[in-house]
Each structure stands twice: as structure tokens, then as C-alpha cells.
Amino acid sequence: MPDQHSTLRAQRRADTQRTIQAHAVRLFTERGYDATTVTDVAEAAGVSPMTVYRHFPTKEDLVLADRNGRLVAERIAASSAAQPLVRRIGTALIDSAATLTDGGPGSDPTANERFLLARLRLMISTPALRARHLDNHYALQQAIVDAVGGDTTDPDAVFPTRAAAGACLAALHTALVRWAEDDGRTALPDLIAKALAAAFGDDITGTRPNT
């Protein structure tokens, strides 16, 4: 069988996924996450509760589902190993954020950006989602370590890399929270740069933040 098994099947599957997730985020925002049952989401999306669980393993994944982590890891693996770790990771995070929010930065939020903000607000305000989101960052930390280190398996060798990656992701998270508080009015890459500068010193980011 071809790996691209069927364009039509994959298309329909992706469509229903997007539909379910859109209705889920809308309902969670309107009524609250805990007050909305999976059955409510299924009814709003016009599918059965079973179908929801087939596309999203848990209720939390209805908000968290996202594949941006891979992007960051790839960007780091492709970056130059000559510069210091924190700068290497930091620039990758800033560039990835710029790619993700490439629409108008302040006055004209694109639909994609509004959806990102809605999901982010839910992730921050709902304890269960916030916890899982932070755990996703922990998984991303390990992916970054793998992308940086190459092939080290000695735990003593990867330890400093893990520490640096974790600290960078904490700065990213702080920037994301601030971005959501600000309703996306400030450009996300600038916020990440500022967070990195606050944690590691102004000299760590390659290009200084413009604010």
C-alpha cells in the first residue's frame, strides 16, 4: 500500500478533526471547560461521542492538539552548533513563533491567530489543561535535547543541555502567558526575546528586541 494511502480519506479525516476541535474550543470558551461534556462537543460537531474519542485520545487533547513542537526541534537541529546553547535554542523559538503568527502582528489578527489565542487562554485558565500544556513543554525539552546533542547517551553529558532547554522553554511559556494576557496585541517573537533577555541577560539574543 502507498504511504499516502488515500488523499480523500485523509482529507475527510482532517476535516472532521478540525470541525470537532473548533466546536470544542468554542464551547469550552463559552461555557467553561469543566461545564462542557464530551457529549456536548460531539452533538455540536454533529458526530457521536465515540468519534470524538477516535480523533482525540482525551478531552484535553481537544484543546492541546498541535504539532508545532516538531518544527522547533527541526529548526534547532538545522542551526549552527557554534553559538552558545541558550542563544541557539532561543533563536529557534523566536523564529518558530514568527512563522506561526505571521499574520498582522497587532491590529489585524488573522483567524488562525485568534484560534491560537483562544486555545492558549483555555490552557492558561484551566488547571488540567495548563498542567498538560506544561507537560508538552517537558516533552519538547527532550526533543530539543535530542536535536542538539546528536548522540550522547551519558546522563551527565545531557544534563546541562536539559537545563538550558528547560530554562528557555520556561521563558517561552512566560512569553505565551503574557501574549494571551495582552490578547495578542504585542508581537509574540518580541515577547519571547524579552523573556529570554530577562532570564539570561540582554546579550544572549542575537538581535535585540525592538522595544
Please give the residue ranges that form the binding site for a second copy (CB under 8 A): 86, 127, 130-132, 134-135, 137-138, 155, 159-164, 166-171, 173-175, 177-178, 181-182, 194-196, 198-200
Q: Kindly state the smallest distance separating residue 145's Cβ from a second copy, in Å.
A: 10
Please tell me whether residue 6 binds DNA under the rule CB under 7 A. yes
Instruction: Pick out residues in 24-43 that bind DNA (CB under 7 A).
Output: 36-39
Amino acid at 126: T
> Of 22, 26, 54, 143, which one interacts with DNA (CB under 7 A)?
54
Q: Kindly state the smallest distance separating residue 173's Cβ from DNA, in Å.
A: 22
Distance (Å, rounded) from C-alpha 179 to C-alpha 187? 8
Please tell me whether residue 99 binds DNA under the rule CB under 7 A. no
> Of 18, 31, 32, 57, which one interacts with DNA (CB under 7 A)?
57
In the list a second copy, DNA, none, the entry touching 28 (Cβ below 5 to 8 angstroms by class) is: none
Q: Kindly state the smallest distance separating residue 122's Cβ from DNA, in Å.
A: 14
Of 28 and 200, nearer to a second copy (C-beta) is: 200
Q: Kindly state the smallest distance separating residue 164's Cβ from a second copy, in Å.
A: 5
CA nearest neighbour of 27 among 63, 75, 51: 63
Q: CB pairs under 8 A, 24+ apart, for 132-137?
A: 132/60, 132/64, 133/64, 134/173, 136/64, 136/66, 136/69, 137/169, 137/172, 137/173
In the list DNA, a second copy, none, the entry touching 14 (Cβ below 5 to 8 angstroms by class) is: none
Cβ-proximal residues to 86 (8 Å cutoff; 6+ apart), any chain: 164, 167, 168, 196, 200, 204
> Of 26, 29, 44, 51, which one interacts with DNA (CB under 7 A)?
51
**30 in Cβ contact with 40 (< 8 Å):** no
The 3-state secondary structure of 66-129, one letter per residue? CCHHHHHHHHHHCCCCCCCHHHHHHHHHHHHHHHHCCCCCCCCCCHHHHHHHHHHHHHHHCHHH
> Of 23, 24, 28, 60, which one interacts with DNA (CB under 7 A)?
60
Please tell me whether residue 78 binds DNA under the rule CB under 7 A. no
